[in-house]
Structure formats: structure tokens, C-alpha cells
Amino acid sequence: MYRTHNCGELRLKNVGQPVTLSGWIQKIRNLGAMTFIDLRDRYGITQLVIDDKSDSSLQNLISGLGREFVVKVEGKVIERSSKNSKIPTGEIEVKVDGVTILNPSEIPPFTIEDDTDGGDEYRMRYRYLDLRRNPVKEALMLRHRMAQEVRKYLDSKEFIEVETPVLIKSTPEGARDFVVPSRMNPGEFYALPQSPQTFKQLLMVAGFDKYFQIVKCFRDEDLRADRQPEFTQIDCEMSFVERDDVLSTFEGLTKHLFKFVKGIEFNEPFQKLSYQDAMKYYGSDKPDIRFGMQFVDLTDKFKGKGFVVFDSAEYIGGICATGCASYSRKQIDELTEFIKKPQIGGKGLVYIKMEEDGSIKSSIDKFYTPEDLKAIAIQMNAKKGDLILVMSGDKKKTLTGLCELRLEMGNRLNLRDKNKFAPLWVVDFPLLEWDEEVKRFFAMHHPFTSPNPEDIPLFDTNPKEVRANAYDLVINGVEIGGGSIRIHDKQLQQRMFEVLGFTPEDAEAQFGFLMTAFKFGAPPHGGIAFGFDRLCSLFGGADSIRDYIAFPKNNSGRDVMINSPAPISSEQLKELSIELRKV
Amino acid sequence: MYRTHNCGELRLKNVGQPVTLSGWIQKIRNLGAMTFIDLRDRYGITQLVIDDKSDSSLQNLISGLGREFVVKVEGKVIERSSKNSKIPTGEIEVKVDGVTILNPSEIPPFTIEDDTDGGDEYRMRYRYLDLRRNPVKEALMLRHRMAQEVRKYLDSKEFIEVETPVLIKSTPEGARDFVVPSRMNPGEFYALPQSPQTFKQLLMVAGFDKYFQIVKCFRDEDLRADRQPEFTQIDCEMSFVERDDVLSTFEGLTKHLFKFVKGIEFNEPFQKLSYQDAMKYYGSDKPDIRFGMQFVDLTDKFKGKGFVVFDSAEYIGGICATGCASYSRKQIDELTEFIKKPQIGGKGLVYIKMEEDGSIKSSIDKFYTPEDLKAIAIQMNAKKGDLILVMSGDKKKTLTGLCELRLEMGNRLNLRDKNKFAPLWVVDFPLLEWDEEVKRFFAMHHPFTSPNPEDIPLFDTNPKEVRANAYDLVINGVEIGGGSIRIHDKQLQQRMFEVLGFTPEDAEAQFGFLMTAFKFGAPPHGGIAFGFDRLCSLFGGADSIRDYIAFPKNNSGRDVMINSPAPISSEQLKELSIELRKV
């Protein structure tokens, strides 16, 4: 038997008991008369003590131990003389009678501590050691807890978990599909799903009514800092529902998770914001509403006073930073530099300081009278001590720049507390996006997304204005999930394909089997998918999803631990009826 | 709003309520004065009634409805005059005030009934319609229930669910790996996991202590009748455990599932049988122990009496079929034909009938005296009215033949009741298998399987006799799962590699990163994996796993619904730096 207890469970009430523990050696302190060892397992740390009166073979063995050795220890629980209130086992220690080395360890390439000296490269190569560190272990335990709670909630709401296939079919639009050559069907390929979209819609046609799955999805794209070629979704679909049925169910799920995983209760409904308002007030379709600082459109107020920068601008907008009138020249310059960074591309920053003495100072005093500025201040609802920051130019670009500036100010003012959560539904997205290059509309979501019913007439007059019956859940400025009500009506689907420039033949080739399925009684349906990796990292208060994935890949899609991908043998290629492309 | 209730929930207590239901039209019966419609959804069937006093536009609409139309119905719950006790809603019906066609349906290619006229080909091509049928729907709901209960149990035992990667690395032994070309790493490939074996062992090295996952695995092999290229495992691993710790945990899981999914309680421990005894008494490493009829070795008893068939046989074994002495000549001939089938290959069948009058009749009366036969009968524990069946020949083949004969007799005597479950642990498998062709040992399980500790000395003297610390769970003759205690000791692992004929370089090339991981304090560990598809079909009482998978593939690994695998475009091939092999 390897253990009677784990390393996290012994307490004062166990004093006097003989126990057997197994675990890893976290730390050894040899104080001459006494040697203390911290023994670690998943459940915690227990202090072991060996005194110099122990038999010499035990003392010899102890002196040969090192960090990360795996040992089995027999001993007796005793009360500590100097207690450690920082750990749950801190009131006791185990007086050791015998130690068995279960496995020695080489010196690990980095320290197994909360803060490690291991760089990213080493941590990934020796991920199994990195996973021994508390923060990473806890990230994955949080993920486990969340997965269980997601299922508990959805099961209680009569959702059925159905596994959809991983080996599916590549579509002409699937340029970013991973494909898998079929040995049994030479020259043919499976594809890995970017999402189970079609299958979940087929499950609705099949009458499954409420489906969910926590499922791996795959996308072979150039990876941005925080993307992974394989990622996990909470994927759901419901029949006989309208938008608000879906929203209330998944708002319920989100509240359940906050309550049972984080101990945070949301008693109010989540805020809803239209895509239009999100863009207008935050310059983003995923605004961080932990703080206000909404944009105010100052275009009308500022124009026509002879300031050419503003007069020539399509849009002028401002934000009000409470209490920042005291910002120094240097601070203002920093902000100006910030918005001029190439990835933001702002041209310049105008400020208006609402001084404590009631005066107003600004970088555009030359063009605007104190009365002009006061009127602006009133429109901005700026008070004494506040700082108004104004950007101008092309509307789309300026809104984006102002969005970045607002987030930066949020950071500077500590308004983006990781322990505060502000969920938000963004609704009424545009259905279509015009692609100037190929001169046609694309579906912003996918071609099965239903338009808002009242916007259907606009298909003929102004397709750009048609709003989708689609929705995103955004928390703290992070897009957690999105979905839509789907089109279940054949005529409407045909109309949609026309607008997207599909010929009936194109539509048949790309979506044939789904269209066929829809002929046999498709119910009205809609759904949503949450990015599970992202949701976990948000709950864990981390910026990166990396530590919420047990074995992540790097930005080149490579697993440096197992060194994958890798070449395969020519026999294997031959078996699969493929060869490498000669260059 | 599409519904106030689903089609399975209205009862007498709802009589008088106005309700809205949505669903599919299962059946329409027009009786002139009345029309009855069965409306179906996932939850059940509700009878709708429209009488000829309804307004004519409603009656017109009704007359245009067909099977599988999706409709929304408004009406009032009334008590039925002739109740149907077969369905939960059978005491009420809904008197219809209005109907909205949500979607019409073409006539489905087969009937959506429990027994369908759809052949396998059609059922698979229109799987979304097949899934509307009760038996298939219920199979998937059972699977859902089982998945939730597996997680509930393992979570309660402190197992952590960790997702291991799907895009991993092909190994030289992975001839049956599916591979995935990497676009970002030209000429390199990922592989899909045949199991998460290495990753779960790494999680033990990482100190995760108890891991589980319900996980898709992949094997690109020629598919036998009931295999799928993608299948699902309940995959588990535990640290600091010995064999019986693993067995008791997963016996607990199995009992939990039987209790909460099937309502069957097992109060006794599952039987354990060594591989040797399983072969000796049942001729199989996965015996069906719902019934006895164990083999009796009659070799010594039968030899040396001048019957050349027996005298030349390596092995002679018999089974006793209770109450079958009355079998006719024709029945005995059928059994003889059965064992002579090429896939069994028996040469002949000897019978001994224990007649009711106390006499003994046999097909070998010429060679054996009544006293000889009586002695045999005593050894077989055969009573009046029983039939002894004897096969002989090469030992291995005869055991296999006798196994098939025993199962056949079990079928004929209705001893293999689908509602009876007989779980069994088979333990002490041989560690090594000798391959006569390449003249070397192979690991029966995998090279990390630990030998039984007491057999380690046999490595040097008689490797064939070394038993593995491995185990299978068998229920009703079906192998549900298997696993082993792993080797965590470097020396022992090296010894194992030697026996398997690996050079240190081979071992490094194939298992290098796992061997490296094991240098940093690998704990003693072991695990198990259950075939989830198979477990579900066993619980559902089905012979095939097909209906327990939402979207299965056929025997050529093809999904005939989406027609996958399929060719991909030359642009896509080019992007992936591969081309098709010219033939």
C-alpha cells in the first residue's frame, strides 16, 4: 500500500496516528539536529520531520534524497511546535520512521515553484514538470470543475450530449480545414471539423430538441498569440426557440458557472447592447463594460470653427477620464504616443482639462472659446478634475482608436479588475458584410444565420442594413461565445443564397446534404457555442489560454514536448496513397 | 412562442388548459367526423383532435398535412373518451383551435416507426430521419445518461478530467495511425491518437494523481463488422496504486452505472478469473459467465482405449448441456455442422447422452464401456437427462471450438439473457507473445505494462511464463475494458525493452520523450480504458455499437450521409505540400 492519506488531508485530529504518505519531495531543510522535508502531491503539502536520533540507515537514506524524488514515507502524526497557518496541514507534521524511494529524480530543468525560473520554451518542452506547479495545476483543476458544472447545468435543462464525428468532410470553403488521407479510400480525405455546425443542425432535424457537447474543434490557420490549432467549444443547439429562449438558457449557464465555480451571484439580467450601440459607445463589438467612459460623438459640436483637422474629419469623438485633469505633459504625451502606434494609427490626440479651479485648459484653445469648450464639457458630462480626450478622422478608424485609448485609460485607472466580471449580450449584428475586393456580400456568421424577421423586406432594398438574429456573449471585453437563430425556411434560405451570390448549383454542391435534410421537416432552431479555453482563462483571471490547456501547441502549431508534427516514413506515405510535393 | 408544453408532458391534471405544442406529425387518422393526429417530439406523443365542426379553413389546412410535417398547434387539453394506457399522455388529447405549418416535409424514404422498412443503406444515408425513430433516439439518450453518470462517479472519486491533444505524433509502430499534414510545417504530419496512453502517463508524472477523460480515439484499420475508425474510450489513470486499487475503483464505476442507469444492484464483488483459468474452463479470455457449462479436461480419461481420434489428440474436452439428452439426431447433426464451419474448424463432435432411464448412449460406444462412460459422466457432473459434448484435437484450436460450441448451446438453451449481466475480471494475462514469424516477443498489451512482481525472475529463465499485471473487464462475454499497472522503474523498463528486442537506440527513438519524463520522478501508476461505444450497446441490450453512435461510418470507413471521405482540390493539396501518389 502506497498511502493511507494524501499530502493535503492530515489535521490536528490525526495526531498520534500512524500514517503512510507518498509524494514528491518539494524541499529539504537540514538543520543539523532535525531535517524537515516538504512532501507534495496534488492535494497539498505535508511536513516530514527526521531527527538525529533516528537510526543511521534512515539518516543515510535521507541524505541521499533530492528535489522531486518520489518517496513513500511511514511515520506518526505529531503536533507542530511552530505552526504554519498558510497551509491546511500546517498544524501537524509527520515524524518519519521509514522512507522508501519509489523513484529518484534528476535535477529538474527549472524550479517547481509558483514562480518558476523556467522560460516559456523550457516550460513547454517539460510540460509534465510545468504541470506540477500550483498555478498550472490549479488552472486545469478549474477547467475540470467548469466542465463538470457545464454538464450538470445543461443536463438539468434536458440537453442531451451527443458526440458528433471528428472525421468529416472538407468543403470548398474549408481552406483552413485540417485533412486526413483515407488509407481505405485512396485519393480521398476526411477533414477535421472547424465546428460541429452542420451536425448539430442535423440533430435538430432529427428531433433531438436540445443538444450540447464539449467538443474539440480544429482550424489550420496562422496562429495569433493566443490561438490554438485545436480548441474546445461548448457547443449547443435548441429547437422551437426564439432568440431570447437561447439567451436566457445560456445566461442561466453562465450564472450557474459563476455561482458554483467562483461563488459570484448575478441577480440581475445581463445587459443587452445592439451591435450598433456597441460600436457607437465603445468602438468595439466586444466592449469591456466593467467601466463606463463611453464615447460621445462631438462631430457636430466641433465642426465649423476653423480647426482644419476637425473640420475635415468624418467623425470626432471623446471620452472623459474621471479625475485625470492633473495628468502631466509627459502623461499626455504617452497617451499620444500610444494612439499613434502603427497598430492603432491615430493621427493625434486632443485634450481638454477640467481644472479644479473651474478653468478649462486644452490643446485646441486657439480654435475654441471657453464657452465652446464648456458646451463640450457639458455634453461629455465632465466634472471638475476630469480629462476629456478627443480623437478624430475617418469614422471606423477613429472609433477603433478611441476603443484602444479607452481600454488603456481603463488600465491606467485600474478599472479593469480581474476579480470583477461584467457580462454583456451583443445583439443585432449585421447579417452581411460587403467585400470590396470581390464585390460581393459574405455572411458575417454563416449562410444559415436567420435575419431579424422585421428586416427581411430590406433584402430587396438595402441588404447591408439587414440585421442578423445573432448574438455574442462578451465578458470583460472578451468574446466568450456567439450564435444565432438559423434559417429553417427554404424560400428564405434561397433568398439568402442569392444575396450571397450562390447559384443554385453552388449551394447544392456546398450544402447539398443539409439542404436535403431540411426537406424532411426541419424545426425552427438556433444555438450558440462558447469558447471553452477562453472561458476557463477568464474565470481563472489569466490573459492567456495556454495554461488552461494541458498540452498546448506553440505559435507554429508545434508541440515541442513530443516534437510534433514530424516527418512520417515513405512506407506510411505509400500506404496512404500520397507523396510529398516536390519543390 | 412555439410551445407551452412538450409532447410528452400533458396529463389529466392539465385538462381545461389552453396549450401550444410544436412537433412532427407522426400519424393522421381521418374518421370523417373527427381527425386524429399524433404529434411527436423527443419527449413523447400527444394526440390532437379536430372535429368536423371546426372552421373550414382549419379543416382545409389539416387536409393538406402529411407525415413528418412540423407544425405548431394551439388548442385545449380535454379528457379522452377512449384512453390509451400505452403512452404517458394517453388519458388526454388536445382539441385543436389552430395549426401553423412551421415546415412541410417530403415523404420520407422510410417509415419513422420503431420497426422501419428502411434498409441499412437508407437508414445511414438519411441518418437524421433514422435518429427520429424511438429505438435509435433512446440508444443515444442512454449514451448521454451513461456519460453523465461516468463523470459524476469519477468526479466524486477525485478524478480530474483532462483533455489530451488530438493532434499528436505518429510513431514507427503506428502503422494504423491516421495522419494530418501540417500546412505550417511542410512535409510534416500530426497523427490522431489511437489512445491517450502516453499523455495519461505524463499526467501521472505531472502529479495529477487521478485522471479521466471520455475521449475520441482513432484507428485506421480494415474494419470488421462492428468497428469504427473513430471510437470513444473512458480513459483513466491513477498514481500510487496497485492492481486491486484500480479494480475496486472501476468495479465501483461499473456498479454505479448499473445502479443508476439500469436499476440493477450488484452487492457482491465481481468474480476474478486468471487468464489461464479462463482459457481452461471457457477457451476464451472473455468468457460469458451468465451460464456455467465449463469445460472439463477429459484427455487422461479418454486416452488409451483404442479410439484413434482421441488417442492422437493433444487435448480432449467436454461440456455438459443440462437436460439435452433428448436431442434428436438432427439436432446433434446441426451441432456437428456448427463446429465444422470453417471459422471454427472442428473435426467432429462426440456425444454422450445420459438417458432418463439411467442408460448412457454415445457416438463412441464401440470404444468405451458403459463403465468408462459412467466415469466420464461423474467427472463431468452429468445427471440423468444431460448431454455431454466432446471435442478433441490440437489444444488451442479445440479450446476455441469448444468455446464456440458452449456459446451456441448457451443460445439454444436461452442462457444468454440480454437483461442479465455477469461481470468478470480476467487477470494475469501473459506479458509477452512470441511471434513465430519474426522470432521475437511482442508486448501483449504495450511495452509499459508491468509484469507481476513475483514473476520478474522468470524474465531470465522463461519469459513466456511471465504474467502481466494487467486486467480486463468482461461482461457477458464482451470485453468492456482493459488496463494494467505500468512500469515506473527504469531498470525494469530496460529489461523489458531487451526482452522485446529493442536496442537502447530503438527505445529512445520510439519512446524517448516518455523515457525522459520518467527520469524526473515518475510515481507508481496504472490505469484502464473502457470502450464506451461497446459499454453503451451492452447496457442497451444491442449486439451492434452502430446505433449507439449518432453518425457512424460504414465498413469502408465511409459516412454515406455526408459522403466522406472525398477528394479535395488541387489548391488544397498544394497548400498542404502533398500530392496524390501516381499509380
Digit-coded pLDDT (tens) for A160-201: 999 999 999 987 666 789 999 999 999 999 999 999 999 999
Asked whether the CA dihedral A538, A542, A547, A552 is positive or negative, the reply is positive
The mean pLDDT of A202-224, rounded to a whole number, is: 94
CB contact under 8 A, A131 and B206: yes
Least confident of A187-201, A503-517, B150-164: A503-517
Q: Does domain B12-103 have CATH number 3.40.50.1820?
A: no
B chain contacts of residue A559, beta-carbon cutoff 8 Å: 165, 167-169
User: B496 to chain A, minimum CA–CA distance in Å?
Assistant: 18
Q: A163, A215, A450, A558: best mutation site toward chain B, by most B Cβ within 10 Å?
A: A163
* Identity of the residue in B185, B488, B562 whose CB atom sits nearest the CB atom of A169: B562
Q: What is the pLDDT of residues A527-570, one digit of tens each?
A: 999 999 999 999 999 988 999 999 999 988 999 999 999 999 88
* B139 contacts on A by Cβ (under 8 Å): none
**Which site among A155, A189, A558 would you substitute to test the B interface, given the most B Cβ atoms closer than 10 Å to its Cβ?**
A189
Across B452-472, average pLDDT = 92
Q: What is the pLDDT of residue B174?
A: 67
Determine which of B180, B194, B511, B582 to mutate to test the interface with A (most A C-beta atoms within 10 Å). B180
Contacts of A132 in chain B (CB under 8 A): 206-207
Select the residue of A132, A148, A521 nearest B70 (Cβ to Cβ): A521
- B192 to chain A: nearest residue by CA? A180
Whether the predicted pLDDT of B224 surpasses 80: no
Q: Structural domain boundaries of chain B?
A: 12-103, 136-273+422-570, 291-412
- Interchain contact, A182 vs B241, CB within 8 Å: no
Give the three cell numbers for residue B417. 439473457
At A523, is the pLDDT very low, low, confident or very high (cuts 50, 70, 90)? Answer: very high
Which of B19, B168, B240 is the best residue to mutate to test the A interface, defined by the most A CB atoms within 10 Å of its own CB?
B240
Kindly report the CA angle at A549 between A547 and A551, in degrees rounded to 5? 105
Q: What is the mean pLDDT of residues A58-82?
A: 95
pLDDT > 70 fraction of chain A, expressed in percent and rounded: 99
Closest CA to B127 of B473, B550, B439: B550
pLDDT at A324: 96
* Res. B494: pLDDT tops 90: no
| Residue in B with minimal Cα distance to A131 | B206
Considering only the beta carbons, identify the residue of A2, A137, A187 that sits closest to B567: A187
- Condensed to tens digits (0 to 9), the pLDDT of residues B300-348 reads 999 998 899 999 999 999 999 999 999 999 999 999 999 999 999 898 9
Judge: B208–A42 Cβ closer than 8 Å, yes or no: yes
Contact B188 A567 (CB under 8 A): yes
For the domain with range B291-412, which CATH number is right: 3.40.50.300, 3.40.50.280, 1.10.3720.10, 3.30.1360.30? 3.30.1360.30
Burial degree of B79 (CB within 10 A; 0-12, 13-18, 19+): exposed
Q: CB-based contacts of B559: which residues, under 8 Å, 6+ apart?
A: A165, A167, A168, A169, B551, B552, B553
* pLDDT band with cut points at 50, 70 and 90 for residue A321: very high
Chain B interface, mutation test: which of A105, A169, A234, A568, most B Cβ atoms within 10 Å?
A568
Chain B nearest CA to A212, separation (Å): 10
Residue among A103, A134, A140, A241 with most chain B CBs within 10 A, to mutate: A103
B547 φ, ψ (degrees, to nearest 5) = -80, 0
CATH superfamily of A136-273+422-570: Bira Bifunctional Protein; Domain 2 (3.30.930.10)
Which chain A positions have a beta carbon within 8 Å of B566's beta carbon? 169-170, 188-189
A186-190 contacts, C-beta under 8 A, 24 or more apart: A186/A577, A186/B581, A187/A577, A187/B567, A187/B580, A188/B565, A188/B566, A188/B567, A189/B565, A189/B566, A189/B567, A189/B568, A190/B178, A190/B564, A190/B565
Count CB neighbours of B268 within 10 A.
5
All residues of chain B having their beta carbon less than 8 Å from the beta carbon of residue A106 are 519-520
Exposed, middle or buried: residue B495 (CB in 10 Å: 0-12, 13-18, 19+)?
middle
B205 to chain A: nearest residue by CA? A128
Task: Give me B353's grid cell.
Answer: 447422452
Mean pLDDT over A258-264 rounds to 97
pLDDT for residue B65 is more than 80 = yes
Tell me which chain B residues have a C-beta less than 8 angstroms from the C-beta of A163.
216, 232, 549-550
Q: How far apart are CA B7 and CA A186, in angstroms?
A: 47
- Cβ distance A581 to B573 less than 8 Å, yes or no, reads yes
At A97-109, the pLDDT tens digits run 999 999 999 999 9
The mean pLDDT of A481-493, rounded to a whole number, is: 92
- Residues of chain A in contact with residue B572, where contact means CB-CB under 8 angstroms, are 170, 175, 177, 179
Across the interface, of A3, A170, A216, the residue whose CB is closest to B240 is A3
Q: Shortest CA distance to A475 belongs to which of A394, A395, A421?
A: A421
**HEC readout, A243-306:** HHHHHHHHHHHHHHHHHHHHCCCCCCCCEEEEHHHHHHHHCCCCCCCCCCCCCEECHHHHCCCC
Residue A533's closest chain B neighbor by CA?
A: B163
Contact A132, A119 (CB under 8 A): no
Question: Residue A230: its chain B contacts at CB < 8 A?
Answer: 165-167
B387 has pLDDT over 70? yes
Are A170 and B220 a contacting pair at CB < 8 A? no
**Residues of B in Cβ contact (< 8 Å) with A192:** 166, 180
pLDDT at A387: 97
- CB-CB neighbors (< 8 A) of A216 in chain B: 163, 166, 216
CB neighbour list of residue A300: distance below 8 Å, 6 or more residues apart: none
| Partners of residue A184 in chain B, C-beta under 8 Å | 220, 222-223, 556-557
Burial bucket for residue A478 (CB in 10 Å: 0-12, 13-18, 19+): middle
The answer to whether the CB atoms of B565 and A69 lie below 8 A apart is no
pLDDT value of residue A239: 98
Q: A276 pLDDT exceeds 70?
A: yes
Best to test chain A binding among B128, B136, B156 (most A CBs inside 10 Å): B128
Span B404-415, average pLDDT: 97
| pLDDT value at B137 more than 90 | yes
Alpha carbon distance A561, A554 (integer Å): 10
The reply to whether residue A179 touches residue B179, judged by beta carbons under 8 angstroms, is no
Distance to chain A for B323, nearest Cα, Å: 47
Contacts of B160 in chain A (CB under 8 A): 140-141, 144
Q: Are A523 and B102 within 8 A, CB to CB?
A: yes
Q: In Å, how far is A22's CA from the nearest CA of chain B?
A: 7
Distance CA A84, CA B358 (A): 83
Residue B284, SS3? Answer: coil
Mean of pLDDT over chain A: 94
Flag whether pLDDT at B79 surpasses 90: yes
CB pairs under 8 A between A and B: 349
Instruction: Choose among B131, B564, B580: nearest Cβ to A578.
Output: B580
pLDDT tens digit string along B252-298? Answer: 999 999 999 999 999 999 999 999 999 999 999 999 999 999 999 99
Give how far A579 is from chain B: nearest CA, Å: 5
Task: Measure B478 CA to nearest chain A CA, in Å.
Answer: 23
